[in-house]
Amino acid sequence: MSGRVRVRGGRSRPPGGAASARAPRPSRRSGVPWFLLAPALVVLGALLVYPVYQLGLISLLDYTQAQVSGGEPITFRGLGNYSELFGDTRFWDVLLATVLFAAACVASTLAVGCALAVLLTRVRALPRLALMTAALGAWATPAVTGSTVWLFLFDPDFGPVNRVLGLGDFSWTYGRYSAFLLVLLEVVWCSFPFVMVTVYAGIRAVPAEVLEAAALDGASQWRIWRSVLAPMLRPVLVVVTIQSVIWDFKVFTQIYVMTGGGGIAGQNLVLNVYAYQQAFASSQYGLGSAIGVVMLLILLAVTLGYLRLLRRQGEEAW
């Protein structure tokens, strides 16, 4: 049968009707989308572009407390701050610790969030509501408050965790790795709700027939997640992964509060705390800004590299 319909006058039209036949094609050169985005772009420019410009500018200057108070003129150092930074072995140690700590936080947050998202699809309405309420309460807790509460829970003298585990007066913040572990637990606790809720919403959007077919074929829960859900949820997982990388790489409050500013002799320093110490404790604002620029470039490289890898695999992240 022909795909066209005869109308009065001997002419034919497609089955969709005259409206579909005369539907205008969007022009790629139209400036309407950019016009609609202009207000948001102006706000983003004011909130993001200008501060980044100032950060980069200060990183090129000899800008200390003497220049801030007007006692000495501001001089241009060029890449002097970066040369000093890259020539300091302490910076490379802190950078390595930051990368490893952020990677552990991201992996743990994604594992806990995805596991609880799957659990939400398996429990009844009342337990699901209780779990989501508790998780959102942890997410809404301020970082300073949450860090203080976790310090009390693991306190060697009054904390209940040591008593339950029989650790006596073991101090979690004294050792380097135990302190990092304690901070990691607090970061995961306050970060997994975002992953859980986002992934849960993505799972709910997956057709139930797909999951039923996989179950009828004898696939285990792990196989369903790895072979069915994960590929279909890839755009969602991209968002939560990138957000987790950005948040965990620039952790400041938890480290600063729970380790007393970076731990004993700076053994628990991360880049954000290290930049704070250089800029405000040592009044080397140019050097602290250089650390901030390095962090920004690292996060941009990680994000763009991850998106490029996904596009090479034929998956559109956005």
Whether the model clears a pTM of 0.95, i.e. scores above it, the answer is: no
Residue 228 neighbours by CB distance under 10 Å: 17
* Positions of E strands within the chain: 5-6, 12-13, 61-62, 75-76
Q: What pLDDT was estimated at residue 46?
A: 83
Q: What are the angstrom distances between the C-alpha of 126 and each of 73, 194, 198, 201?
A: 65, 20, 20, 17
Encoded tokens for 59: 């990183």
SS3 308: helix
Rounded-to-integer distance, Cα 135 and Cα 52, Å: 33
Q: How many CA atoms lie within 13 A of 86 on its CB side?
A: 7
Distance linking the first and last C-alpha atoms of the chain: 40
Q: What pLDDT was estimated at residue 219?
A: 79
Question: Residues 162, 154: contact at Cβ < 8 Å?
Answer: yes
Q: What pLDDT was estimated at residue 313?
A: 61
Residue 148 neighbours by CB distance under 10 Å: 13
Q: What pLDDT was estimated at residue 28?
A: 54
For residue 12, list its beta bridge partners.
6
Rounded-to-integer distance, Cα 149 and Cα 69, Å: 39
Question: Residues 173, 263: contact at Cβ < 8 Å?
Answer: yes
Place of tokens 């470039």: 297
Question: Residues 194, 243: contact at Cβ < 8 Å?
Answer: yes
Q: What pLDDT was estimated at residue 134?
A: 92
CATH superfamily of this structure's domain 61-312: MetI-like (1.10.3720.10)
pLDDT tens track of the chain, all 318 residues?
A: 444 444 444 454 555 544 444 555 555 567 888 888 888 888 888 888 888 999 999 999 988 888 777 777 788 988 999 999 999 999 999 999 999 999 999 999 999 999 999 899 888 989 999 999 999 899 999 999 999 999 999 999 888 999 998 888 899 999 999 999 999 999 999 999 999 999 999 988 888 888 788 888 777 878 888 888 888 888 888 889 988 999 999 999 999 999 998 989 889 999 999 999 999 888 899 999 999 999 999 998 988 887 787 777 655 444
Residue ranges of the alpha helices (H) in the chain?
Answer: 18-21, 32-44, 50-58, 65-68, 80-86, 89-120, 125-140, 143-153, 160-165, 176-204, 208-216, 221-224, 230-232, 234-249, 253-258, 271-276, 285-312
Q: What pLDDT was estimated at residue 249?
A: 93
Q: Tell whether the torsion through CA atoms of 294, 296, 299 and 305 is positive or negative.
A: negative
Task: Of 158, 147, 210, 212, give the one whose Cα is nearest residue 183.
Answer: 147
Task: Of 195, 24, 63, give the one whose Cα is nearest residue 117.
Answer: 195
